[in-house]
A = this chain, B = another copy of it.
Amino acid sequence: MHIIITGGAGFVGARLARTLLARGELALTGTAATPITSITLVDRVEPPADLAADDRIVSVVGDLNDLLAEAPDQVVTWNTSLVFHLAAAVSGECEADFDLGMRSNFAATHALLEACRQLGTSPTFVFSSSLAVFGGSPEQPLPDVIHDDTLPTPQTSYGIQKFIGEQLVADYTRKGFIRGRSVRLMTVSVRPGKPNGAASSFFSGMIREPLAGVTGACPVPDETPVAVASPARTVEGLIRAAEASDAEWGPRTALNLPSLCITIADMVAALGRVGGAPALALLDRTGDPVIQRIVKGWPGRFETPRAARLGLGSDASFEDVIRDYVRENPDAIKLAVEA
């Protein structure tokens, strides 16, 4: 089985690739398990060294739109059984640069779907959408709890573009061009590495930076709700989407992945339990009105029975999530903490 991961050099993409390689096989959309022979990682940058060294990994480096315009069949090769489409410009970038978002999230998704359609083999297509499709406005506040059939009313260009992607995936699936699975990722924390342009970047930084012994910004108030999922749960959801049979998957509407529905105060408390007073002392609680405005529109409470029926659950606690991060990233921990 040949698999493509767009955004495959990014954090979620690389973790997904490692997980798939470690498994070695996949039971695609309810069929028998088949060995994974190769994975193409498409990204603007080279993949991490461990992946580049694996002879099952093919790296295609470039801009996804350019690559698909020039030679779609060299990105989506004839033998592709499964595509994970994770590549995207992130929320903060799309607010700052409308055209960048339309190109990276709207045009690229459409072009990738067209390339898959041209195969004529109806490959499985897992589209990473986002909780950012949900947003509240003064005229239309978010409901207290997001259900599986809550109407998304995105309040950011990123959310609009992801929601449009879901619609395209649904119709390409209905037409038989692909076998589509749209999953809405929750706020992924704790991400290792550096901050990115996402408005949600601080949800990882506020844990990662203090544990690394440097100041981490937490620019929103204690009571801010957040629907958070660990990297492990996120990758689990993406793989489960690829494995679910059509009957298990059900409607073509995007699936809300499970999340821990907590608050910033809960996250800070968990950081304190793992890193103690030294970690808390490194939290910078200066407010950022721009970030607050964006994040305030995001939902913090979900009920996800559809995901539960697929066997997907949330992390046990955010403290566990932090301890997993500490265990998996020993080089990034400078405070004296026990995993």
Report A's interface with B, CB cutoff 8 A: 98, 137, 139-140, 149-155, 157, 160, 163-164, 167-168, 170-171, 174-175, 250-253
Q: List 23 A-B contacts (CB under 8 A).
A: A98-B175, A137-B251, A139-B250, A140-B250, A140-B251, A140-B252, A149-B151, A150-B151, A151-B151, A151-B152, A151-B253, A153-B170, A153-B253, A154-B167, A157-B171, A157-B174, A160-B167, A160-B168, A160-B170, A160-B171, A164-B164, A164-B167, A167-B167
The 10 A-B pairs with the shortest beta carbon distances in the complex, nearest first, are A140-B251, A160-B171, A139-B251, A151-B151, A139-B250, A149-B151, A160-B167, A164-B164, A164-B167, A157-B171
Complex CA distance for A19 and B171, rounded to whole angstroms: 36
- In the assembled complex, the Cα of A174 lies from the Cα of B153 at a distance in Å of 12
Q: Which residue of B lies closest to A174 (CB)?
A: B155
Q: Chain B residues near A253: list those with CB within 8 A.
A: 140, 151, 153
A168 to B107, CA, bound (A): 13
In whole Å, how far is A141's beta carbon from the nearest beta carbon of chain B?
A: 10
Identify the closest chain B residue to A155 (Cβ).
B174
Within the complex, what minimum Cβ distance (angstroms) separates A101 from chain B? Answer: 9
How far, in angstroms, from A137 to B253 measured CA to CA in the complex?
A: 11
**Cβ-defined contact, B157 with A175, below 8 A:** yes
A154 in contact with B140 (CB, 8 Å): no
- Residues from chain B with a CB closer than 8 A to the CB of A98 are 175
A145 to chain B, nearest CB (A): 14
The one of B150, B151, B154 that contacts A170, using a Cβ cutoff of 8 Å: B154
Compute how far the CA of A154 lies from the CA of B160 in the bound complex, rounded to whole angstroms.
17
> Measured between alpha carbons, how far is A171 from B251 in the docked complex, in Å?
26
Query: Nearest-CB distance from A30 to chain B (Å)?
Result: 15
- Bound complex: CA A250 to CA B138 (Å): 9
What distance in Å separates the Cβ of A132 from its nearest Cβ neighbour in chain B? 12
Q: How far is the CB of A199 from chain B (nearest CB, A)?
A: 15
A155: chain B residues within 8 A (beta carbon): 174
Contact of A154 among B152, B171, B250 (CB under 8 A): B171
Closest beta carbon of chain B to A12's beta carbon, Å = 24
Q: Are B163 and A167 in contact (CB under 8 A)?
A: yes
Name the distance in Å between A293's Cβ and chain B's nearest Cβ: 13
**Bound Cα distance from A175 to B95, whole angstroms:** 9
Distance, CA A168 to CA B102, complexed state (A): 10
Q: Which residue of B lies closest to A147 (CB)?
A: B151
How far is B140's CA from A150's CA once the two chains are assembled, in angstroms?
13
Extra contacts, 20 of them, besides A137-B251, A140-B252, A149-B151 (Cβ < 8 A), are: A139-B250, A139-B251, A139-B252, A140-B250, A140-B251, A140-B253, A150-B151, A151-B151, A151-B152, A151-B253, A154-B167, A157-B171, A157-B174, A157-B175, A160-B167, A160-B170, A160-B171, A163-B167, A164-B167, A167-B167
